[in-house]
Structure 1
């Protein structure tokens, strides 16, 4: 066996996986392991996978152990349409209110906490629950859903206030937000450099092919899988940023700065290590 690859099962990261030649990768010893973000994060931290798309917050928690693969991320510069705060009242009225959180992504949970505390100066009581909007709102004033859960809930709920976290972040910072990055355990850099380059190039080609296809194949697949219209899914994929450049870095480092100031991170993050095959 060569490298074990962690694959998040959410729609937003699928452009990196949709056009992979999975049979060829399997024949060459690569293993793809699919799970929800929190479990993929855990697997990479424990060494159960070698490289994975993980939450940006998880990278910060293990920054000394990981390097990021260049030009790959799930980011937005504004609206993201899969990270929603659903609220019974306007966001400004949530002070001292109860907010239910999904456990699916630490990045988004802490992004919401940063937004409410730093940008709106609100003190909120939080509770983590299963991502069921109706159940969450039985006992809470607002609820955070992410990924496919958020997309489905946004389609069917018209009476609640809906706040897109990507929009809120960009309105207050002018910076993009990176929700997921591709990380590799540092010990892999020297022991499996060629294999890492193979899977990295496969991710890049899948991203390029998905873009050139105008996300039509992905959009058709998710219409069948989750409902909604083709136009929604195509515009959803087209609206996301799938690169990781210096602007993404600035946005992520600012997010880490606030997360550290509020005690969500135990260590301050001043730089982001990006892998380069030349130096591995």
Structure 2
């Protein structure tokens, strides 16, 4: 069976995805935005994908592939809310749906602070929106788009840091998510790609900075991959997944508060 594998091209995902063998004819690699991969997984267009963690509760067939994730333990630098007003006074925020986990985190942070939910304006997320005649009160940027504006003088909130300050937990942005029938040889392939990619973070940073000099120089890209992004899906990250879901369920009664992440059995 040929496995259809969904990957993303953000810098923070490259240590997990860059070393996947394009020559392995047992799988086909599909590259898209995180939210698009979530839709592909739901429709059956892919069998496993690096998708926003909030997708894990949306289908009883879904299993998280153990081992690796994309997470942070404090400041992350690539999930930023740029604001024209104080946090407590915000009402409307421009977002794109490239990552539903980041959008959900935004609302959970409001909930933790006892503030009303934000009205989300789905559009392209670009700081040039602030120049419109009727600009949004804040703009959420994620991934490489956020990294490209780290030097902006605008007031901003790092959502990874905000979550850490309120909960003391790391935050998981994306996981490898699969249907239960995923062959276990794929898990080994994902693990080997991660091992090679994590050992090659400096080279990945160098290549990225050469192709995206407007975002990062080599030193900053390497620091981001080593210091800001965590890739191990350990007990703390698993606890954070549960805590985040419980908080989301307090906001959205449609969610099952007792849901618990299901992990792929790798010893079958």
State the TM-score, normalized to the length of structure 1. 0.88
Q: Distance in 2 between matches of 1:30 and 1:71?
A: 20
> Contact 1:84–1:164 (CA<8 Å) still a contact in 2?
yes
Cα separation, 2, equivalents of 1:120 and 1:13 = 33
Q: 3-state DSSP class of the match of 1:5?
A: strand
Q: From the superposition, tell whether residues 127 and 233 of structure 1 become closer, same or farther in structure 2 (CA, over 3 Å).
A: same
Cα 1:126–1:277 change in 2 (3 A) is closer
Structure 2 unaligned segments of length 5 or more: list them: none
Matched, 1:237 2:225: yes
Question: Which blocks of at least 5 consecutive residues in structure 1 are unaligned?
Answer: none
Distance 1:237 1:210 in 2: 11
Task: Write 1 or 2 for the structure with the bigger share of helix.
Answer: 1
* CA spacing shift, 1:100–1:70, aligned 2, 3 Å: same
Distance 1:180 1:114, change over 3 A: same
Deviation at 1:135, TM superposition (A): 1.6
Give the alignment's TM-score, normalised by structure 2: 0.92
CA RMSD of superposed structures (Å): 1.8
Number of the residue aligned with 2:250:
261
Alignment correspondent of 1:148: 144
What is the alpha-carbon distance in structure 1 between the residues aligned to residue 254 and residue 17 of structure 2? 30
The structure 1 residue matched to 2:159, chosen from 162, 165, 168, is 165
- Determine whether 1:128 maps to 2:122: yes
Give CA deviations for 1:99-153 in whole Å, capped at 9, x if unaligned. 1112211110010011123225245332111122212563211111111111112
1:123–1:148 CA distance, 2 compared to 1 (3 A):
same
Give the one of 71, 78, 81 matched to 2:74.
78
Query: Which of 92, 99, 108 in structure 2 is aligned with 1:98?
Result: 92
Cα distance in structure 1, aligned partners of 2:166 and 2:29: 38
The correspondence for 1:185, drawn from 179, 182, 192, is 179
* Matched residue, 1:15: 15
Report runs of 4+ in structure 1 exceeding 6 Å deviation: none
Q: Deviations over 1:50-71 (max 9, x none)?
A: 0111100111222x11111111
